[in-house]
């Protein structure tokens, strides 16, 4: 092979921020070729995908609404990934948040308590944390791989939601359809921008970004998380508890995913349905990586992923399968991981390897 990778002494800052842009560019090029290959005019299709959906006030609000869950979950995952804790089950924690929040909304259905939506959100966060506590416990107590356990729990959560909307939480006047009652007005997230579906939950976005920035760069806990992830041995020597990092990462992400789930059912949906999330929990993994595990990066990446999700819905009009959104997500992540090589390595021609670097 004529080319060889040589480790850099320090990560390249240019590549660190350039790699995500390169990956996005590669994804757009892939989209161009894909649309061409299936006989659509690529520029029209790309316009319909990335521009048209957000080319109006309503479109922009939908963009923010879709980026909300991705930002919140992505922030939680970024903290975990920094500590080398692999929570892949945010989707399940989101579903539990929907169930917990939904159960509270339905329990208070005829009480007319003002501000019920706040209770719904809190219940969602607690339910998400409880679900996330399972893989955290199994990892810290029994050494069980958290990737597999948290992932398995997604399917369990999915069946649990199905069980509840087919049974205990089904609308008694719903003619047997697997869905709950519509929540009462008090349980619905108050609107933030008239004429749109954007709700007050969006205010959590700037708050969470700030809080996460503070946690990661201004607290000892953030420092400990970082050290645990980058040098487990050093962290152990310094007396940082690895178990605490696992618990912290899982509870944080579980809580955020739970709130997201609750806000999803108490927001745009307004009731419990068998299908709640278009894969926010998985897309948020890409968000965390693409955003370089930094709060502002996650915020930007969440809006890109939100655009990919909304665009996928929009190009259905052109007869393009909606699954194109997931395909783009996969291509984006592969391209990002591939471009990341430039952060830690220099590409050197083999003949010149001998001098200095070997």
Partner 1 sequence: MIDTALVLAILVSALRTATPLIFAALGELVVEKSGCVNLGVEGMMLVGAVAGFAIGLTTGNFALAFLVGALAGAALSLVYGVLVLFLMVNQYAAGLALTILGGGASAFWGQRWQGQNMRGLQPVEMPGLSQLPVVGSVFTRLDIMVYVALAAAALIAWALLRTRLGLVLRAVGENHDSAHALGFSVIRVRFAAIAFGGAMAGIGGAYLSCVITPLWIEGMTAGRGWIAVALVVFATWKPGRVVLGAWLFGLVSVMQIHGQGLGLAVPSHILAMLPYLVTILVLVLISRDATRIRLAAPGSLGKAFRPTA
**Residue numbers of the site for partner 1 (CB under 8 A)?**
5, 7, 86, 88, 138, 142-145, 147-149, 151-156, 159-160, 162-163, 166-167, 282, 285-286, 289, 321, 323-331, 333-334, 337-338, 340-341, 344-345, 358
Q: Shortest CA distance to 139 belongs to which of 237, 248, 234?
A: 248
Closest approach of Cβ 354 to partner 1, in Å?
A: 9
Q: Shortest CA distance to 15 belongs to which of 292, 262, 200, 348?
A: 292
Closest approach of Cβ 271 to partner 1, in Å?
A: 19
Helices (H), 143-271: 146-166, 204-218, 220-230, 232-237, 242-264
Closest approach of Cβ 120 to partner 1, in Å?
A: 23
Closest approach of Cβ 282 to partner 1, in Å?
A: 6
The single-letter DSSP state of residue 268 is I
Q: What are the φ/ψ torsions at residue 57 (nearest 5 degrees)?
A: -60, -45
Closest approach of Cβ 292 to partner 1, in Å?
A: 13
- Pick 185 or 337: Cβ nearer partner 1: 337
The single-letter DSSP state of residue 7 is E
- Pick 148 or 232: Cβ nearer partner 1: 148
Q: Count CA atoms within 13 Å of residue 85 on its CB side.
A: 34
- Pick 60 or 152: Cβ nearer partner 1: 152
- Pick 263 or 336: Cβ nearer partner 1: 336
Distance CA(198)–CA(278), nearest Å, equals 18
Distance CA(276)–CA(262), nearest Å, equals 10
Closest approach of Cβ 224 to partner 1, in Å?
A: 21
- DSSP per-residue codes, 104-153: HHHHTTTT--TTHHHHHHHHHHHHHHHHHHHHHHHHHHH---HHHHHHHH
- DSSP per-residue codes, 48-68: IIIIGGGSSHHHHHHHHHHHH
- Pick 122 or 334: Cβ nearer partner 1: 334
- Pick 115 or 330: Cβ nearer partner 1: 330
- Pick 66 or 149: Cβ nearer partner 1: 149
Closest approach of Cβ 144 to partner 1, in Å?
A: 4
């Amino acid at each position: 092979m004529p080319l060889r990778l040589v480790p850099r002494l320090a990560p390249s800052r240019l590549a660190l921020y350039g790699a995500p842009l390169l990956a996005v560019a590669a994804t757009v090029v892939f989209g161009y070729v894909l649309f061409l290959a299936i006989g659509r005019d690529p520029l029209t299709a790309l316009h319909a995908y990335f521009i048209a959906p957000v080319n109006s006030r309503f479109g922009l609000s939908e963009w923010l609404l879709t980026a909300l869950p991705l930002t919140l979950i992505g922030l939680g995952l970024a903290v975990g990934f920094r500590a080398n804790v692999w929570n892949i089950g945010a989707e399940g924690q989101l579903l539990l948040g929907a169930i917990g929040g939904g159960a509270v909304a339905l329990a208070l259905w005829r009480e007319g308590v003002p501000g019920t939506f706040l209770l719904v959100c809190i219940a969602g966060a607690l339910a998400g944390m409880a679900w996330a506590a399972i893989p955290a416990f199994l990892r810290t107590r029994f050494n069980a791989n958290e990737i597999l356990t948290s992932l398995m729990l997604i399917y369990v959560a999915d069946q649990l939601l199905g069980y509840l909307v087919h049974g205990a939480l089904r609308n008694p006047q719903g003619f047997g359809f697997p869905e709950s009652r519509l929540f009462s007005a008090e349980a619905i997230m108050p609107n933030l921008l008239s004429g749109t579906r954007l709700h007050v939950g969006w205010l959590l976005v700037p708050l969470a970004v700030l809080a996460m920035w503070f946690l990661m760069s201004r607290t000892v806990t953030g420092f400990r998380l970082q050290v645990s992830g980058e040098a487990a041995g050093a962290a152990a020597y310094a007396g940082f508890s690895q178990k605490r990092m696992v618990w912290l990462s899982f509870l944080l992400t579980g809580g955020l995913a739970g709130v997201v789930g609750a806000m999803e059912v108490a927001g745009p949906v307004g009731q419990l349905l068998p299908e709640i999330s278009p894969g926010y929990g998985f897309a948020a993994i890409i968000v965390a990586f693409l955003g370089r595990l930094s709060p502002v990066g996650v915020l930007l990446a969440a809006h890109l992923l939100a655009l990919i999700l909304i665009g996928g819905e929009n190009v259905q009009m052109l007869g393009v399968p909606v699954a194109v959104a997931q395909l783009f997500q996969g291509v984006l992540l592969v391209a990002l991981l591939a471009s990341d090589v430039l952060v830690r390595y220099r590409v050197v021609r083999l003949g010149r390897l001998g001098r200095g670097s070997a």
